[in-house]
Amino acid sequence: MTIRHFIETDIPAAAELEQRCFSDPWSQKGLRDTLREERACFLAAEDENGRLCGYLNATWVLDECSLNRICTDPGCRRNGVGAALLDALQNFCREHQIVFIFLEVRESNTAARNLYRKSGFLETGKRPHFYDNPDETAVLMQWTAE
């Protein structure tokens, strides 16, 4: 598995992953707009056959970064793809003097919460009714560069 920059030709496969991974999937247009954003870190994980098996999108302002999206193809999970994407984002932050990464995660999303904890994120608070479809509390998490 390789981590590389997300590129325009990844969009169709990413839109399919969105449908399979999220209740509020991003469209191809949404992905294309996101790809054009400045101050963004958009990373792809590619398997040995050149297939997109996951990706991550984050944006930053000054020394603060927000993790907007991370997902792994359901057929590729528990193989370290999510952890490798986060590790690459953390390296990107260190290289760009970005000190904090913030994110929100559904309270019931045990897989993601465990992934973030394992990658050094701490839970800093909760925000009731943050999500809809379905309504749910968000857990706020933060990573701080050393």
Ligand X SMILES: CC(C)(COP(=O)(O)OP(=O)(O)OC[C@H]1O[C@@H](n2cnc3c(N)ncnc32)[C@H](O)[C@@H]1OP(=O)(O)O)[C@@H](O)C(=O)NCCC(=O)NCCS
Contact indicator for 37, 58 with CB cutoff of 8 Å: no
Kindly tell me the number of DSSP H helices and DSSP E strands found in the chain. Answer: 4, 7
Contact indicator for 122, 103 with CB cutoff of 8 Å: no
Mapped onto helix, strand or coil, the DSSP state of residue 135 is coil
**Residues 4-23 as x/- pattern, contact with ligand X by CB under 6 A:** -----------------x--
**Residues 21-60 as x/- pattern, contact with ligand X by CB under 6 A:** x---------------------------------------
Q: At what angle do helices 110-118 and 81-95 cross, to 10 degrees?
A: 50
Q: Pick from 15, 99, 112, 145 the residue near ligand X by CB under 6 A.
A: 112
- Part of the chain binding ligand X (CB under 6 A), chosen from 7-15, 76-84, 125-133, 135-143: 76-84
Query: Which amino acid is located at 52 in the chain?
Result: L
Q: Does 79 bind ligand X (CB under 6 A)?
A: yes
Nearer to ligand X, 38 or 81 (CB): 81
Q: Does 131 bind ligand X (CB under 6 A)?
A: no
Tell me which residue of 99, 82, 106, 86 sits closest to 22, measured CA to CA.
Answer: 106
Q: How many residues bind ligand X (CB under 6 A)?
A: 19
Residues near ligand X (CB under 6 A) are: 21, 70-72, 77-83, 105, 109-112, 114-115, 118
